[in-house]
């Protein structure tokens, strides 16, 4: 993972809101912006999109941003949504440990994609733009004992696909391509460049 020196470019983000309750996204955004607010979006996610999975994850990010922007029209809002997919099969958050085990077993020995949709919105200046970043993750060939060992160290129930790349990746992941932070839930590299373009960062 390429580390970017961001400290010199941080900016007071008091007019910036992260529309997500994810502690992982909050931590990653904190690498870029200081003093932003968090407002958990109550938007209802859609489950499919006629234009495919990338449009789905982008639209869900947009819906989350809209819900927060309606309450805070004078602020910059960031909506985000992350999707794990093996081919056209979407892996959401497992309902229980058995479902998590099935998901990991399906991903075993396969390469899947993790896409995060981001939507930046400011109602006060009529600004809205959405982008998507995608990473590819290849799993090792796993047996039941390795999966159970992994679950002893990682709670799979609050994670899309039932895994977290930032915790004991050595047990399950062979390699990944693209942004590491994107797999965690927020593509820091892409977002930082985008915020520089918008002069939210300087």
Question: Residues 81, 98, 133, 158: which is the catalytic one?
Answer: 81
Residues 79-111: tens digit of each pLDDT: 999 999 999 999 988 999 999 999 999 999 999
Domains and CATH numbers, the chain: 14-197 (3.90.950.10)
Residue 4 has pLDDT above 50, yes or no: no
Q: Is 51 a catalytic residue?
A: no
**What percentage of the chain exceeds 70 in pLDDT?**
93
HEC states along the chain?
CCCCCCHHHCEECCCEEECCCCHHHHHHHCCCEECCEECCCCCCCCCCCCCCHHHHHHHHHHHHHHHHHCCCCCCEEEEEEEEEEECCEEECCCCCHHHHHHHHHHHCCCEEEEEEEEEEEEHHHCEEEEEEEEEEEEECCCCHHHHHHHHHHCCHHHCHHHCCCCCCHHHHEEEEECCHHHHHCCCHHHHHHHHHHCCCCC
pTM over 0.85: yes
């Amino acid at each position: 993972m390429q580390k970017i020196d961001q400290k010199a470019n941080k900016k007071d983000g008091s007019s910036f809101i992260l529309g997500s309750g994810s502690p992982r996204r909050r931590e990653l955004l904190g690498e870029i912006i200081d003093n932003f607010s968090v407002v958990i979006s109550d938007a209802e996610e859609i489950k499919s999109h006629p234009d495919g999975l990338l449009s789905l994850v982008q639209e869900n990010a947009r819906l989350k941003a809209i819900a927060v922007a309606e309450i805070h029209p004078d602020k910059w809002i960031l909506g985000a949504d992350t999707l794990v997919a093996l081919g056209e099969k979407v892996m959401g958050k497992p309902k229980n440990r058995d479902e998590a085990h099935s998901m990991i077993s399906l991903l075993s020995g396969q390469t899947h994609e993790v896409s995060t949709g981001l939507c930046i919105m400011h109602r006060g200046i009529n600004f809205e733009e959405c982008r998507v970043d995608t990473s590819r993750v290849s799993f090792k060939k796993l047996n039941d004992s390795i999966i159970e060992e992994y679950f002893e160290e990682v709670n799979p129930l609050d994670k899309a696909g039932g895994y977290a790349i930032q915790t004991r990746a050595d047990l399950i992941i062979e390699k990944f391509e693209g942004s590491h932070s994107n797999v965690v839930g927020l593509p820091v590299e892409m977002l930082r460049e985008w915020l520089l373009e918008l002069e939210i960062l300087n």
